[in-house]
Structure 1
Amino acid sequence: MEDIIKAFFTSFAGLLLILLPISNPIGMAPNFLFYTEAIHNESRRIVAKKVALLSFSFSVGILIAGPPLLRFFGIDVSFIRISGGLLLAISGWQILSSEGNSSSNYSDKNKDAHKKIKTLKDRIFFPIVFPVTVGSGSVAIIITMATDYFHGSFKAYIMVASYIGGAAALFVNAFLFYICYKYSREIFSHVGKTGTIVICKISAFILIAIGLQVAWGGFYNVIIELFKVLKSANLL
C-alpha cells in the first residue's frame, strides 16, 4: 500500500509542478477572453466548462495513448514539439494581427447571438483547447511522463497508481483553467476595454514566443541527434 501511495503522489506532484509553468492558466486567460469576446458572461462560463472538460479528456487521452501511438507511427517527441510549437505561434500571431475589437472576428452587430455562439463552437477544440489550453509543450511533457510511468516499474499496480496520479494532476490543471477562463472577464474588467486589448496583445506575443521556444527545443533535439548519427558514421 505504501508503494501505491508513493507512486500516486510522486506522479501527481511531478506532473503538476512541471506542467503548470508551461500551461500557465492565468496567462492563457486573455487569449480565451479574445475568442469569447462576442458572447455574454453566462455563455462564456459554459464555454469555459466545456473547454476545461475537453482539455482534461484530451490530456488523459494523451497520457494513456500518447506513447503507444508515437511508437506505432515511429514519431519522435521532438517532432511533436516542432509541429505543436509552430501551431501555438500561429495562433498567437492570429490574435496579435487581428483587429482591436475581437468581436469583429465572429460577426457584426446585425448578426444574432446564435450565429456568434455557433461560430465559437467551431473554435472550441481548435484553437482554444489545442494548442492554446493544451499546447505542444504540455503534450510533450505528458507523453514524457507517461513513458516514465510505463517503463518505470514492472509491477502493474505501481504503474496504474502512477497513471491515476498523473490523471489527477491533469484534472487539477484543467480545473485551474476553468476558474481562470470562467472569471476572465471579471479579472480583466478593472483595466477597461483598451487595457484588455493591450493585455491580449501582450499575451499573444508571449504565446508566439512560447511556441517558437517549444519548436526550437524540438529542432535542437533533432539537430543533436543528427550530429550524433553523422559522428557515429565518421562523416564529421
Structure 2
Amino acid sequence: MSAFLASFLLVFGSLFPIVNPPGSAFMFLAHTRTVSHAQRAELALRVALYAFLIVIGSLYVGAAVLGLFGVSIPALRVGGGLVIAVAGWRLLNAKPGATGGDVEVENTPETLRTAAFYPLTMPLTTGPGTIAVTIALGTGHPFGHGALSLGTLGALGAALSISVLIYLSFRFADRLETLLGRALTDALMRLFALLLLCIGVEIIWRGIAEMIKSL
C-alpha cells in the first residue's frame, strides 16, 4: 500500500493546485450562465470525464505523443501559456456579471457538446500547465510496472479524485453563487481570472527559460 499511497499523493498533490477545482468553478459559471441547471450538470460531467482522460493520457502516453510530432515540453508551455493568458484576459475584461457574449457558451446542443472540451476543459480546467506537469510526472516516475501495479492504481485514483472534485465544484457552481451573492461571485471570478492570466504568463516564462537553457 505504500506504493499506492506514494503515487496517489504525488499525482494528487502536484495537480490539485494547478487544476484548482473550486477556483475553476467560477470561470465555468461565467461561461455557462445562460444554460439551465440540468445542462450545467451535464457539462460538469463531460468536463470531469475529459479532464480524467487528459490527465491519464498525459501521464502515460503524453511524452510519446509530443515526441511523435516533434513538440518539446518547453514549446508546449509557451503555446499553452498563451492560450491560458488569453482566456484569463477575456474573463478579466468581461462585462459585469460575466454576461458578455464573448464569454458565455451559446445555449445549443451542438455548441454545448463542443464547449465541454474547448474552452471548458481545455484550457480553463486541465490546460497546458496541467498537461506539462503530468507529462513530467509520467516520465520521471513510472508508477510501477504493469497495468494493475499499486503505483499505477495510485496514479489512477488520484486522477479520478481530481475529476470527482471538478464535477462536484462545477455541478454546484450556481448554488455557490447563490450562497455568496452575485457581486461577490463576480469579484471572485475576476480574481481567479487575474490568477489565470498570471499562470499563463508564468507558464510562458518557464517555457522560454527552458528553451534558453537548451541552447
TM-score (norm 2): 0.88
Q: State the partner residue of 1:204.
A: 193
How much has 1:159 moved relative to structure 2? 9.0
Secondary structure of 1:123 counterpart: helix
Answering whether residue 74 of structure 2 is matched by residue 78 of structure 1, we say yes
Match of residue 33, structure 2, among 30, 37, 41: 37
Alignment of 1:181-220 (within 5 A): 181-220=170-209
- Identity, % of aligned positions: 28
Q: Mind listing any 5+ residue stretches in structure 2 that lack a counterpart? A: none
Secondary structure of 2:123 counterpart: helix
How much has 1:104 moved relative to structure 2? 4.6
How much has 1:6 moved relative to structure 2? 3.1
Q: State the partner residue of 1:111.
A: none
How much has 1:182 moved relative to structure 2? 0.8
Pick closer, same or farther for the CA change 1:52–1:107 going to 2, 3 Å.
closer
Aligned residues: 214
Pick closer, same or farther for the CA change 1:146–1:203 going to 2, 3 Å.
same
Q: Would you tell me which structure has more helix in proportion to its own residues?
A: 1
Match of residue 114, structure 2, among 117, 122, 127: 122
Distance 2:206 2:200 in 1: 10
CA deviation string 1:68-115 (max 9, x = no partner): 12233333211111111111111111212222243452899xxxxx94
State the one-letter code of the partner of 1:203.
F
Answering whether residue 211 of structure 2 is matched by residue 222 of structure 1, we say yes
How much has 1:128 moved relative to structure 2? 0.6
CA root-mean-square deviation: 2.4
State the one-letter code of the partner of 2:185.
T
TM-score (norm 1): 0.81
Pick closer, same or farther for the CA change 1:71–1:8 going to 2, 3 Å.
farther
Pick the structure with greater CA Rg. Answer: 1
CA deviation string 1:132-176 (max 9, x = no partner): 1102121111101111234x77xx349944333212111101111
Secondary structure of 2:71 counterpart: coil
Q: Mind listing any 5+ residue stretches in structure 1 that lack a counterpart? A: 109-113, 227-236
